[in-house]
Amino acid sequence: MEKLEKRIKRFLQERGWNHLRPSDLAKSIMIEGAELLELFQWENLELEKVRRSKELVDEVKKELADVLIYAIQMAVLLDIDTAGTVNRKLDYVEKKYPAELMRKNAKKGSGSGRDAEYWRIKKKKKKKGP
Ligand SMILES: [Mg+2]
């Protein structure tokens, strides 16, 4: 992660882009996220079907890279410790959604969106805040 952050910092400095506004980076993250979502517009492909489509996975890689690059640019310009921030958030999410409970309710291919326990926890935490 550190290597990547250094490379992105250098990339920004070399181009004189090291004063980009965070609001512009936030917009760019969402625009690239929309491009990622567009790859799945009108289709609800299951994981295995996407994995088997080399062409689609190649397109996902490109859009995912765009999202990640803008996200890391924002982190670098705001002096955010990316790895530390992600690890702290994962610690929080691991506690919020206990693995044993989530696994017990998980149905193959359904994702968490159909899990009533997931929604109960999500709504309860939303009222309290992070
Ligand atoms: Mg793109």
pLDDT tens figures, 55-73: 999 999 999 999 999 999 9
User: How many angstroms separate the alpha carbon of residue 95 from the centre of ligand 1?
Assistant: 33
- Decide if 77 contacts 12 (C-beta within 8 A): yes
Q: Which residues contact 17 (CB under 8 A, 6 or more apart)?
A: 11
Query: Which superfamily does CATH assign the domain made up of 2-80 to?
Result: MazG-like (1.10.287.1080)
Q: Is the pLDDT of residue 51 over 70?
A: yes
User: How many angstroms separate the alpha carbon of residue 62 from the centre of ligand 1?
Assistant: 7
Q: What pLDDT score was predicted for residue 128?
A: 63
pTM of the model: 0.84
CA-nearest of 38, 45, 43, 109 to 67 is 38
